C-alpha cells in the first residue's frame, strides 16, 4: 500500500512521461495517469499527430496498464485552442515568432491540469520535463533549477511557474544524467515506448508544416510582399511573413555580394527587412509579461545570465526594471538575432537556477 501522497502524471505517450510515472511508482507514490485530449477537430491524422494525439493516448494507456496504474483521458481541446493555438496565430499575424510550448506549459499543464489533479485529490502533478524543483531555505521560495542533463534541460520553457504551482509539481527526470539512462529505465520497466523517438514537431500542426497551418488559419501571413534593405530600398519580394523569422537567411532571394539575413518583419506593411550579419547584433532588449521565480522581483540593476532562445548557452547581462512591469536587459556583449515573441529567461550568475523570464517585445542597439 502506498505511503506517499497521490500524484497525477501528465502522460503524453512518450518515453519521458512514462518513465516519470514509473519512477514515482517505485518511490511509493500513489500514481494516476492523465492524458490530455488537445487535438483539434480539423486534424485528420490524429493517429500519429504528435504529443497527446490518438496514437499518443493509446501508447499512454498501454504504459499505464503495464505499470498497473489508473489512466484517464481528459478533454482540453477548447482550452488548448484558446490559450495556445489562438496566440500562435495572433503572434504570426503581428510579425512575431511565438513559442507555443511556453503557453502550453503555462496555461494547460501547470494551471488547468494541475487544478484537475487537485480536484481528483492529488497532492502533486508530475511531468516528464527535464528540470528540478527545490525549496530554497534562505529565501523561503520554491526554485526551478536546470536538469542534471544540461543537453536535455527544459527550464527555458518553464519560466512561468508560480510559487503554488512549483510547490505541487514533481519532475523526477531532472535527476537523470542523460536520455540513454531514461531509455534504460523504460526497458527495465518493460515499457514498449523505450525506443520511441522524441517528438520534434508542433503538436497541433500536421506533418510539422506550420506555414501550411497558417495558410489556412491566417492567410494574410502568406501573402507576397516586398523585401527592403536597411535603407528602405526595395530589393526583392517574399512569399509571406509567416515564412520568416529574425536571423533567417533561407528564402532571402536577393542578389548581394554579402550574405543577407532577416533583420526586421513589419506585419502592417507586409515587409521584410534584410541586412548583413552586423545588423543582427543587438545591445539589449525590452521584455514584458514578466514572471519571477527565484526572486520576488527587483528594484534596481541585477547581473544575470540570459537565454533568448532554447538552443543557446546563457550569456552575461544586466537586467533593470522598466515601465509597467517590463524589464530592460543589456547584454555584456551584443547578441545576434534577438527575436520578438520569443522568451527571455534569466538565470542566476551560476547559470543553474531560474530567476524569471518574460516575452521579448523589442531589441535595441
**What does DSSP say about strands 71-75 and 354-364: parallel, antiparallel, or unpaired?**
unpaired
Residue list, annotated binding site for ATP: 10-17, 36, 128
CA-to-CA dists, residue 287 to 51, 280, 317, 325, angstroms: 29, 18, 14, 9
Secondary structure element (H or E) that encloses residue 221, with its range: none
Cα Rg of the chain, angstroms: 22
Side-chain-side CA neighbours of 286 within 13 Å: the count stands at 9
Residue 75 burial (CB count, 10 A): 10
**Known active-site residue 104:** yes
Catalytic-role residue among 51, 52, 101, 104 = 104
Catalytic-role residue among 51, 52, 101, 203 = 203
CA-to-CA dists, residue 12 to 60, 69, 76, angstroms: 6, 15, 13
Specify the DSSP class assigned to residue 252: -
Closest to 57 measured CA to CA, from 67, 43, 44, 47? 47
Closest to 138 measured CA to CA, from 292, 290, 291, 295? 295
Q: Report the catalytic residues.
A: 104, 203
Amino acid at each position: 500500500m502506498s505511503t506517499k501522497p497521490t500524484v497525477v502524471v501528465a502522460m503524453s505517450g512518450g518515453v519521458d512521461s512514462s518513465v516519470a510515472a514509473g519512477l514515482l511508482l517505485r518511490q511509493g507514490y500513489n500514481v494516476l495517469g492523465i492524458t490530455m485530449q488537445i487535438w483539434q477537430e480539423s486534424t485528420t491524422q490524429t493517429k500519429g499527430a504528435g504529443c497527446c494525439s490518438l496514437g499518443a493516448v493509446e501508447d499512454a494507456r498501454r504504459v499505464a496498464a503495464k505499470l498497473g496504474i489508473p489512466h484517464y483521458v481528459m478533454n482540453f481541446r477548447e482550452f488548448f485552442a484558446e490559450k495556445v493555438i489562438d496566440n500562435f496565430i495572433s503572434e504570426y499575424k503581428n510579425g512575431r515568432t511565438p513559442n507555443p510550448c511556453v503557453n502550453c506549459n503555462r496555461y494547460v499543464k501547470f494551471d488547468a491540469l494541475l487544478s484537475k489533479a487537485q480536484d481528483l485529490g492529488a497532492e502533486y502533478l508530475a511531468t516528464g520535463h527535464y528540470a528540478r524543483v527545490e525549496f530554497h531555505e534562505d529565501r523561503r521560495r520554491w526554485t526551478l533549477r536546470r536538469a542534471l542533463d544540461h543537453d536535455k534541460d527544459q527550464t527555458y520553457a518553464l519560466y512561468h511557474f508560480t510559487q503554488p504551482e512549483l510547490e505541487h509539481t514533481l519532475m523526477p527526470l531532472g535527476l537523470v544524467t542523460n536520455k540513454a539512462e531514461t531509455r534504460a529505465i523504460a526497458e527495465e520497466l518493460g515499457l514498449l515506448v523505450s525506443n520511441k523517438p522524441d517528438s520534434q514537431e508542433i503538436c497541433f500542426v500536421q506533418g510539422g508544416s506550420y506555414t501550411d497551418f497558417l495558410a489556412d488559419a491566417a492567410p494574410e501571413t502568406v501573402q507576397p510582399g516586398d523585401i527592403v534593405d536597411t535603407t528602405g530600398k526595395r530589393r526583392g519580394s517574399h512569399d509571406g511573413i509567416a515564412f520568416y523569422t529574425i536571423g533567417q537567411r533561407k528564402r532571402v532571394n536577393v542578389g548581394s555580394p554579402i550574405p543577407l539575413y532577416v533583420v526586421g518583419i513589419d506585419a502592417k506593411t507586409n515587409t521584410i527587412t534584410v541586412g548583413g550579419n552586423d545588423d543582427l547584433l543587438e545591445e539589449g532588449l525590452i521584455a514584458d509579461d514578466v514572471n519571477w521565480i527565484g526572486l520576488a522581483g527587483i528594484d534596481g540593476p541585477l547581473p544575470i545570465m540570459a537565454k533568448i532562445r532554447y538552443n543557446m548557452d546563457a550569456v552575461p547581462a544586466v537586467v533593470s526594471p522598466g515601465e509597467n512591469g517590463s524589464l530592460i536587459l543589456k547584454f555584456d556583449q551584443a547578441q545576434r538575432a534577438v527575436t520578438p515573441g520569443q522568451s527571455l529567461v534569466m538565470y542566476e550568475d551560476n547559470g543553474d537556477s531560474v530567476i524569471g523570464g518574460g516575452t521579448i517585445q523589442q531589441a535595441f542597439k
